[in-house]
Structure 1
Amino acid sequence: MKQPNIILIMTDQLRGDCLGYAGHPDVKTPYLDTLASKGVCFDRAYSACPSCIAARAALHTGMEQSHHGRLGYEDNVPWNYANTMAGELSKAGYYTQCVGKMHVHPLRNYLGFHNVDLHDGYLHAARYGSVPYRESQFVADDYFYWLKQELGVTADVTDTGIDCNSYLARPWMHEEKYHPTNWVTDRSLDFLRRRDPNRPFFLMASYLRPHPPFDAPQYYFDLYKDKPLREPFVGSWETEEYLRKDGRIFDSKTGPIDKELARQAMIGYYACITHLDHQIGRLIMALIEQEVYDDSVILFTSDHGEELCDHHMFRKSRPYEGSCHIPFLIAAGKNVLPDLKSSSTCHAVVELRDVMPTLLSIAGAQIPDSVDGSCLLPLTADPSASVRPWLHGEHSYGEFSNHWIVTETDKYIWHSATGQEQYFDLKEDPHELCDRIDDPDRQNRIHELRGHLIDCLKDRTEGMSDGSRLIPGRPYPVTLPHATAR
């Protein structure tokens, strides 16, 4: 049987609910909505360690976080993994190409890809201080190298005055064709032009947006700037302590204290999403026009979400839905995956570690023993099926460090620095407005989920569990030593 082409469309910091097909009342995503109508949407998809590096380690290795060794965000740690998604697909006969974000170390580590057209966004650690010449983003990043050639040596994505983690928003200052979102599509189309037509390909189109800066072209800002927008979700359990202390521009762990700035952030975020959708549409149209769509499988997802002022928070790394709930869909052309139930929704809890075994199965390749994830192909044929009853998520994040257990219907959260617990009934309360940790009718369920977390942590080196209870305040590293040696 002919191996299908595989296209992985990866985004950065895209919430699971900020899509038209997911029911968002404001965001317009016509191309992704169409793709969703032709595939299976997984509406309980999560990023188990929701920030860029750890999430991408799960994606590229198929491992859960204690096995790949990334428990949070730390740059400049080498990526030395024996088995990677692109490496295994290359062994299976695929020509493998990534365009856009990798966020690995060293920057030109290909992780098994035959070729990478790299753009990692604005990485502080690869720009300043004692960065070796070959590791400087001005040298290693293909987009920045190209932008310098096109617009001059001083051109940069922060020329608008917006930091790469900021909630500030303003339109892109150059012609749209120079935007990094357009660049990823342009380079992906160039790959399709020059590919070997006799060989199956794996293309990872890895977009930076809607990760800040919120700098979509003016047209996309105009779509949202005069619209009434849904307010951020703020429940009964939050306080404004951190918002009042940190709700200014130089600490974006919270949203802005100024409600107009919060509205501008939403406008900028939504503008980036619709711009992204249109560029994904260009890529899909090219697949159709070049007559490869019918022989291809498309998987669309994101590395993590964005709190976007929900619960007074901003960015990611938190255990709440805005941060850790991600989009995830699988669609296929008419000549592949004949059992796929198009225009259906699967409520199973899935995670980024499931991408690698799923794509390897599609390719007919063996799944390495190191992989913890599950193949999701049976769920595309039977969306009522499941691959796990619950998922353990976590993030090392200083005073905000957290662990959580999520199921198809509810979530238990343990804040490991303080010992604070939370419980949310996601079926009744999908936006986590009411913390039911003290509800007497929920104590048996909370005890059950807490027990899962105790078991997950009992054999780990941090000492957060002794097998019978959770122990707060233990040292919680961002990266485990074996992350550089697997």
Structure 2
Amino acid sequence: MRKFYNRGDLLDSTTEFILKKMSNPTERRPHILLITTDQQRSDCLGINGNHEVETPNLDALARNGVNFRKGYVTCPVCIPARRTLISGMSPDSHGLRRYLDGVDFDPPATLPGCLKEVGYQTELIGKLHLHPQGKRYGFDNITLSETANWRPDHPHQKRNDYVRWLQEKGVTRHPTFQGIGSNSRLSAPWGMDDTLHWNQWVTDETVKLFQQRRDPTCPLFLHLSFFHPHPPFIPLKHYFDRYLEKDLSGPVIGEWAKQGEDARAAPDAVAGPFDEGTMKRAKAAYYALINHIDDCIAHILEQWTNLPDVGNDPLYIIFSSDHGEMLGDHHLFRKSQGYEASAHVPFFLSGINVDLPSMETDDFVSWEDVAPTLLDLAGVVIPPSMDGRSLVSYLDGKEPDDAPDHIFGQCFGRFANLWVVNERWKYIWFAKTNEEQLFDLQNDPRETRDLSGTNTENLQAMRKIMEGHVSGREDVTFDESALSPCANQPPKVFWPN
């Protein structure tokens, strides 16, 4: 259910909450590492069943903690998701339900702000993607690069500390000189020295923080925010070659998708059909970027554990991604959709020098839960503005009884869609065309057959759940008499002709 607050009341109550100390004032608060990637699907970790991509380090971390196999982002596109991450607020609460840059964001409480108030050194390295650019939202310091692209004339992304670092090293060439854009399905190997790649830069900056800028007298909160595997798909050559040599599977094409192949679609097109060769190369580059990140994380954690003053200090780690990537599945590309490839993300809680159960769960979690969980781990009472729940109770090795029975998601714009997923069913409603789809995830986890035209009973049940989330809203009208089941045919929202 949506929660509405008076901002002044929230500011007063938030101050009261975050100033509360742990019950034992001499207790050392744990260090916290929040690692996020950008545009990484849930099924792109080995531990989540992918036998093509190599992620041994992340898999080991996940095995040594709690792996949430049903992690979702409730608005699967960059800025709304990142608002949710930093504030713990749902899209309905923080007010952004689509990709829209240049909009000020001033939440009543933030994860880094709450941690800073109780004595943490709070740092961000990598992507933040909030407005105005440079606002710290409670971080003591931000080392900022929203993208591997250099955009000096962009109205909202002029600052890029990565590009500044390249220039300090005498590199004046554009880092994406291949001409591959930030939403392109095209791919090419990285064309400069390996040490200049974006992944390597953010890794080196993190190690510098550990060794040179860290305050040893207080706990550290670091948001390590990777821009990749978001396009441009320009991995290091030896990683790219590794996956080009593999016999990778092609995209999953549902019965309901437009069939055939067509290489003429624009490089950044959302809907195909796409030719399989281009998409297989895109997958190879995408996997290569993930593999590189996996190795980077291993190096970062090795450097952390080698710090002489860390010793037995507890470190908690959450790993997740802001949304997935369709990657040619159903002849769709990019994100923003309620399909599993787009909205379902990796999500696990692990750590170093902490006692954690080794377990997996199918309970639903979302990005609303990240901030409450990390505040709870730090001994900070969760501010009332946060919509999510703490996941700390899972550290007892049991599944608590407060897990939601479904997730509601939405993303507006050209392909406005709202969706509901429960233990078995996925319902998608396209608000502009009133089309709808229904998938049986238990028997069809890759969403290849749309049952909206045949399974009336479950379609009606999922409609009622959707109606509970959107009734009373002024921006959409959910009129059952106007709904049009796609009935396993291509949605007109993607293929109007």
Deviation at 1:122, TM superposition (A): 5.1
Equivalent residue, structure 2, for 1:414: 429
**Contact 2:185–2:267, Cα closer than 8 Å, also in 1:** no
Aligned partner (choices 239, 249, 262) of residue 266 of structure 2: 249
Equivalences for 1:264-279 in 2 at 5 Å?
264-279=281-296
Deviation at 1:20, TM superposition (A): 1.1
Letter aligned with residue 101 of structure 1: K
Aligned partner (choices 442, 451, 457) of residue 444 of structure 1: 457
**Contact 2:186–2:282, Cα closer than 8 Å, also in 1:** yes
**Contact 1:143–1:180, Cα closer than 8 Å, also in 2:** yes
Deviation at 1:127, TM superposition (A): 3.8
Equivalent residue, structure 2, for 1:454: 467
Cα 1:85–1:255 shift into 2, 3 Å: farther
Deviation at 1:378, TM superposition (A): 1.2
CA RMSD of the aligned region, Å?
Answer: 2.0
How many residues in Structure 1 have an aligned counterpart in Structure 2?
454
Matched, 1:282 2:261: no
**Contact 1:47–1:352, Cα closer than 8 Å, also in 2:** yes
- Identify the range of structure 1 (382-391 vs 318-327) with the bigger mean alpha-carbon deviation: 382-391
Deviation at 1:81, TM superposition (A): 1.4
Aligned to 2:360, the other structure's residue is in SS state: strand
**Contact 1:454–1:470, Cα closer than 8 Å, also in 2:** no
Aligned partner (choices 197, 216, 219) of residue 200 of structure 1: 219
* Structure 2: distance between partners of 1:449 and 1:264: 37
Cα 1:35–1:413 shift into 2, 3 Å: same
* Structure 2: distance between partners of 1:222 and 1:123: 23
Q: Deviations over 1:96-117 (max 9, x none)?
A: 0000000011110111101000
Aligned to 1:184, the other structure's residue is in SS state: helix
Deviation at 1:383, TM superposition (A): 4.5
**Contact 2:249–2:280, Cα closer than 8 Å, also in 1:** no
Deviation at 1:412, TM superposition (A): 0.9
Aligned to 2:169, the other structure's residue is in SS state: helix
Deviation at 1:295, TM superposition (A): 1.0
Cα 1:389–1:123 shift into 2, 3 Å: farther
* Structure 2: distance between partners of 1:59 and 1:150: 33
Equivalences for 1:199-348 in 2 at 5 Å?
199-240=218-259, 244=262, 248-254=265-271, 257-290=274-307, 291=310, 295-334=314-353, 336=354, 338=355, 340-342=356-358, 344-348=359-363
Aligned partner (choices 61, 64, 70) of residue 35 of structure 1: 61
Equivalent residue, structure 2, for 1:353: 368
Cα 1:221–1:292 shift into 2, 3 Å: farther
* Structure 2: distance between partners of 1:411 and 1:264: 30
* Structure 1: distance between partners of 2:397 and 2:419: 28
Equivalent residue, structure 1, for 2:183: 165
Equivalent residue, structure 1, for 2:377: 362
Deviation at 1:70, TM superposition (A): 1.1
* Structure 1: distance between partners of 2:205 and 2:398: 34
Deviation at 1:237, TM superposition (A): 1.1
Matched, 1:45 2:55: no
Percent identity of equivalent pairs: 37
Equivalent residue, structure 2, for 1:394: 410
Unaligned runs of at least 5 residues, structure 1: 473-486
Cα 1:287–1:127 shift into 2, 3 Å: same
* Structure 1: distance between partners of 2:284 and 2:361: 30
Unaligned runs of at least 5 residues, structure 2: 1-26, 485-497
Aligned to 1:173, the other structure's residue is in SS state: coil
Q: Deviations over 1:311-336 (max 9, x none)?
A: 001110011011111000000223x3
Equivalent residue, structure 1, for 2:9: none
* Structure 1: distance between partners of 2:427 and 2:351: 35
Deviation at 1:409, TM superposition (A): 2.4
Aligned to 2:241, the other structure's residue is in SS state: helix
Letter aligned with residue 324 of structure 2: G
Cα 1:196–1:331 shift into 2, 3 Å: same
Equivalent residue, structure 2, for 1:107: 133
* Structure 1: distance between partners of 2:272 and 2:365: 28
Cα 1:463–1:420 shift into 2, 3 Å: closer
Aligned to 2:292, the other structure's residue is in SS state: helix
- Identify the range of structure 1 (250-259 vs 361-370) with the bigger mean alpha-carbon deviation: 250-259
Aligned to 1:117, the other structure's residue is in SS state: strand
Equivalent residue, structure 2, for 1:482: none
Aligned partner (choices 150, 153, 157) of residue 128 of structure 1: 153
Deviation at 1:31, TM superposition (A): 0.8
Equivalent residue, structure 2, for 1:98: 124
Equivalences for 1:140-155 in 2 at 5 Å?
140-153=159-172, 155=173
* Structure 1: distance between partners of 2:205 and 2:424: 41
Aligned to 1:151, the other structure's residue is in SS state: coil
Moved >4 Å (runs of 4+): 468-472
Aligned partner (choices 48, 52, 57) of residue 22 of structure 1: 48
**Contact 2:77–2:322, Cα closer than 8 Å, also in 1:** yes
* Structure 2: distance between partners of 1:56 and 1:160: 28
Aligned to 1:412, the other structure's residue is in SS state: strand
Q: Deviations over 1:372-412 (max 9, x none)?
A: 011111123245335211111011032x2100011232211
Aligned to 2:345, the other structure's residue is in SS state: coil
* Structure 1: distance between partners of 2:312 and 2:206: 14
* Structure 1: distance between partners of 2:39 and 2:312: 27
Letter aligned with residue 20 of structure 1: G
Cα 1:325–1:378 shift into 2, 3 Å: same
